[in-house]
Structures are given as structure tokens and as C-alpha cells.
């Protein structure tokens, strides 16, 4: 079984970023906006900062207390959104319930919305219009498939999960690549059959090792977006990777797979935002 390494894909994106950086007259700056001290957000923030800086890009964190009022947060967010020094924004979500997240999605400048949360960018993803930003993780899935020359046209692809962050947008991006897409979720009746009938499975359920080789057709490709913790406290995906040998033709590991590519896509989007200015 071929291991689809995120690093190889990320390195390719780094090359693109370096070349494009040379053509710009300024270093693009990413604003990471975080409310509160959620350890998962902080870990993602650290990873993204390290990656983007290693790509030669500028990153600044804007951190607000968990109990900030809706009004104060919107005021601060407006300033970041309108700051000419800020090329792109990554908002760590979910926000505390006291803040109206929908309002922020509507506020964010679509040209700075690197993770595709504004209704305009979402509509573009669903319309197959590539002039906006799609959610970085969804695009990371397409990046890994393309980097390893895995054909999508006409292929039966099953997507597990229907969130707005991964499942739905990745299904739309796959359709744009002419795949035959089946979307599944918690109410799907026979998930095992729907997955094992597919030539490619993309899973974003957030359930540790939920899919074993029974969910994988012979020589199918398994792309694991899940980031979970197993019974021993170790990081793992939705797929029980160890069971895939002899069944899958290729699969992404966790860690070291899609997650590594997500922050590289964020860097790519920052460059694209800089070029839009
Ligand atoms: P979510 O909880 O919003 O959505 C999960 C989806 O999976 C839902 O649509 C649900 O219907 C489906 N699902 C859950 N259990 C299922 C089951 N037993 N059978 C069928 N469908 C099931 O989660 P999300 O934000 O989309 O994230 C999904 C996973 O991807 C998480 O593990 C998350 O940590 C990971 N993630 C990774 C990255 C990355 O950079 N690699 C980015 C975002 C999310």
C-alpha cells in the first residue's frame, strides 16, 4: 500500500509560494483570530504559524478573552478586517456562543477570507467558481489526490461526513473534478457497503478508527481527514490505518497526511489574497 505523505504535497505548495513571493512587492500577512484558550485552537494556531513562517510569510495572532462581548468582538474584528496590513484572515471556530458567528461570516471580507467561511466564498465553491477561497481542508484533499496523480474523472467517491468545513465543500470540489460523488452521514443506512463500493473514500467523521478494511474496496484509495485521539491517547484518524494493508492501494496516514497539507493550502490562499489586492 502506498502511503500518501502530506509532506510531499506541502513541499510542492511551498515551492509555488516561494516563486510567487518573489513576484510580490510586500510580504503577505496572515491574521489568526482566536477567542479563548481552547487547546485544539492553540495547537492549530502554533502549527499554522510555524508553517507559514517557514514559507517566508508573516503571521500575527489576535487573541481575545473568552468572555468578550459580541459588540466588542465585532468592533475588534472590523478593525482587523479593514487593516491594510492584513492580507488574509483565519478565524478559529467555533466562537463562544455569546458571539453571533453568522454575523462574522457575513462581515469578513471575502478577499481576505482564506478558509472560505463567507457566504460569497461558500456560494462560489458550490457553483464551481474557482475565483474565491474554499475551506483549506477540503482543498487539501484535492491537493493530495492531484499530487499523487490519482484520477478523479468518473470515479466513484464516497465522502463520510457532511459538515460545512469538510464534507460538503469537498463533495463540491470533487464534483468539479468530474467525480461521481456519494455523500454519507450518521443517518446513512449501510455505510460499510457505500464505502466499500467506492474507488476513493474521503472520511471526515471525527470518530477514532471508525473505518477498518471492511469499509475499503479492493485497491481503493482512503483519504483520512479525521483528527482524533485513540484509547491510548494517541493521535489517529477515522480510519484504522493498520488494517488497510493488502486492501487499499493508497492511504493518507494520521498524523502526517491531510492535516499537514491544510496549513500549506492556507499559505497558498494567503499568496492568492495578496495577488488579488
Ligand atoms: P463535524 O462533527 O462537524 O462533522 C462530522 C460529520 O461526520 C457529520 O456530518 C456527521 O454526520 C458525520 N458522522 C459522524 N459520525 C458518523 C458515523 N458514525 N457514520 C457516518 N457519518 C458520521 O466535524 P468536522 O468539523 O467536519 O471534522 C471532521 C473530522 O475532521 C474531525 O476529526 C476533525 O478534527 C477533522 N478535521 C481535520 C482537519 C485537518 O486539517 N486535517 C480540519 C478540519 C477538521
- Determine, yes or no, domain membership for 6: no
238 and 152 inside one domain: yes
Residue 275 counted as domain residue: no
pLDDT tier for residue 47 given thresholds of 50, 70 and 90: very high
Same-domain check for residues 253 and 190: yes
**Around 201, how many Cα atoms within 13 Å sit in the side-chain half-sphere?**
36
In the structure, which protein residues have their CB atom closer than 6 angstroms to any atom of ligand 1? 137, 160-163, 165-167, 184-186, 188, 191, 204-207, 210, 225-228, 258-259, 262
CA distance 150 to 219: 12
**For residues 258 and 252, is the Cβ–Cβ distance under 8 A?**
yes
Which pLDDT score is estimated for 20? 98
Please write the tens of the pLDDT for every residue from 110-147: 999 999 999 999 999 999 999 999 999 999 999 999 99
148 and 251 both lie in a single domain: yes
Domain of residue 39, residue span: 23-118
Ligand 1 atom 15: residue of nearest CA: 205
Residue 206 Cα to ligand 1 middle (Å): 4
Residue among 48, 206, 214, 263 to mutate when testing ligand 1 (max atoms within 8 A of CB): 206
- With bands split at pLDDT 50, 70 and 90, how would you rate the model's confidence at 87? very high
Residues 71 and 155 in one domain: no
Q: What CA–CA distances, in Å, run from 273 to 33, 81, 216, 233, 268? A: 17, 13, 38, 38, 9
Please tell me the distance between residue 203's alpha carbon and the centre of ligand 1 in angstroms: 8
What pLDDT band is residue 171 in, cutting at 50, 70 and 90?
very high
Per-residue confidence band for 253, with pLDDT thresholds at 50, 70 and 90: very high
The reply to whether 91 and 155 lie within a common domain is: no
Shared domain check, 155 and 244: yes
Output the pLDDT for position 94: 96
- pLDDT value for 113: 98
> What distance in angstroms lies between residue 132's CA and the mean position of ligand 1's atoms?
23
Whether residue 131 lies inside any domain: the answer is no
Determine the residue of 94, 163, 192 to mutate for testing ligand 1's pocket, defined as the one with the most ligand atoms within 8 A of the Cβ atom: 163
* Residue 55 covered by a domain: yes
77 — pLDDT class (breaks 50, 70, 90): very high
Do the domain assignments include residue 127? no
Q: Is residue 233 part of a domain?
A: yes
pLDDT at residue 182, as a whole number: 98
**What's the gap in Å between 104 CA and the centre of ligand 1?**
22
Cα separation, 140 vs 166, whole angstroms: 10
pLDDT at site 106: 98
Residue 190 lies in a domain: yes
**Residue at which a domain ends, from 91, 118, 145:** 118
Q: How confident is the model at residue 206 (pLDDT cuts 50, 70, 90)?
A: very high
Do 67 and 140 fall into the same domain? no
Residues contributing to the annotated binding site for NADP(+): 161-163, 227
Q: What is the pTM of this model?
A: 0.98
Q: Measure the CA–CA gap between 188 and 230, rounded to whole angstroms.
A: 24
What is the average per-residue pLDDT within 198-221? 98
- Find the 127 Cα to ligand 1 centroid distance in Å: 23
Q: Is residue 193 part of a domain?
A: yes
**Residues 89 and 157 placed together within one structural domain of the fold:** no
CATH code of the domain containing 144: 3.40.50.720
Same domain? 236 vs 140:
yes
Res. 159 pLDDT band, cuts 50 70 90? very high
Report the number of distinct structural domains present in the chain: 2
User: Are both 143 and 231 inside the same structural domain?
Assistant: yes
Rounded to whole angstroms, the Cα distance separating 51 from 211 reads: 30
Mean pLDDT, the chain, as a whole number? 98
Amino acid at each position: 500500500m502506498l502511503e500518501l505523505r502530506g509532506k510531499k504535497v506541502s513541499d510542492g505548495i511551498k515551492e509555488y509560494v516561494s516563486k510567487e513571493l518573489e513576484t510580490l512587492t510586500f510580504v503577505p500577512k496572515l491574521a489568526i483570530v482566536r477567542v479563548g484558550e481552547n487547546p485544539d485552537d492553540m495547537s492549530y494556531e502554533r502549527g499554522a504559524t510555524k508553517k507559514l513562517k517557514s514559507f517566508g510569510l508573516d503571521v500575527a495572532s489576535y487573541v481575545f478573552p473568552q468572555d468578550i462581548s459580541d459588540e466588542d468582538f465585532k468592533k475588534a474584528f472590523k478593525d482587523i478586517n479593514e487593516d491594510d496590513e492584513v492580507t488574509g484572515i483565519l478565524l478559529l471556530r467555533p466562537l463562544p456562543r455569546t458571539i453571533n458567528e453568522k454575523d462574522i461570516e457575513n462581515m469578513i471580507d471575502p478577499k481576505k477570507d482564506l478558509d472560505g467561511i463567507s457566504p460569497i466564498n461558500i456560494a462560489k465553491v458550490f457553483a464551481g467558481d474557482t475565483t474565491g477561497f474554499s475551506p483549506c481542508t477540503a482543498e487539501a484533499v484535492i491537493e493530495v489526490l492531484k499530487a499523487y496523480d490519482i484520477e478523479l474523472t468518473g470515479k466513484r467517491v464516497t465522502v463520510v461526513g457532511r459538515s460545512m468545513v469538510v464534507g460538503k465543500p469537498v463533495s463540491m470540489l470533487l464534483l468539479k473534478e468530474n467525480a461521481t460523488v456519494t455523500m454519507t452521514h450518521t443517518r446513512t443506512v449501510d455505510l460499510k457497503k457505500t464505502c466499500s463500493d467506492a474507488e476513493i473514500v474521503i472520511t471526515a467523521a471525527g470518530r477514532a478508527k471508525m473505518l477498518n478494511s471492511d469499509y475499503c474496496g479492493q485497491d481503493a484509495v482512503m483519504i483520512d481527514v479525521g483528527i482524533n485521539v485513540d484509547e491510548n491517547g494517541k493521535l489517529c484518524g477515522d480510519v484504522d490505518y493498520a488494517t488497510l494493508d493488502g486492501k487499499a492501494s493508497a492511504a493518507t496516514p494520521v498524523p502526517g497526511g491531510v492535516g499537514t497539507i491544510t496549513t500549506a493550502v492556507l499559505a497558498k490562499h494567503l499568496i492568492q489574497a495578496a495577488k488579488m489586492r
